[in-house]
Each structure stands twice: as structure tokens, then as C-alpha cells.
Amino acid sequence: MSTFDPTKPANNSPVSSAGLRNQLNALEEEIPQTAYAPNSIAPLNTTVSNPPAQAQVQAIADKIDEMLSSMSR
């Protein structure tokens, strides 16, 4: 298992195929572990009145919280 090192390759250093391959493989291992899954969030499906009711605004705030939660690791 490789570990991604954001400091490699260093600026102006020679590039080696093995070093780049290790970096890319490490990223490939890390990316699928992210929690972001937009398909798991159901649409809000609400109509907002004018002026909006407190329950409508709360539903929007709850949906934003759900989206932010799904994007965090």
C-alpha cells in the first residue's frame, strides 16, 4: 500500500516513472474512500411560499446539512 506524498515530486526535480506511478496508485487508493455520494441525497421537492414559512426554511437548512454531511470524510 502506497502513501500519497504531496511534496513529491519536488519542484524542478527529475521525474521518475516509478515515483509518479507510486503517487498515482496512492491517490487511486485514497479517492474511493471519500464519503461524497450525491446520488444518495434525495431531492427536496418543496415549493416555497412568499414569504417562506419557518418549516420550509428549516427543510432547506436540513437539506444543506445533509449535503454537507455527505461530502465530509
Write down the domain spans for the chain. Answer: 1-33, 38-71
Structure letter (DSSP) for residue 12: T
CA 65, CA 46: separation in Å to the nearest integer? 16
Per residue in 17-45, pLDDT tens?
A: 998 898 898 888 877 665 555 667 888 99
Assigned C-alpha cell, 53: 414559512
pLDDT exceeds 90 at position 56? yes
pLDDT value, residue 42: 86
Structure letter (DSSP) for residue 11: T
pLDDT value, residue 32: 67
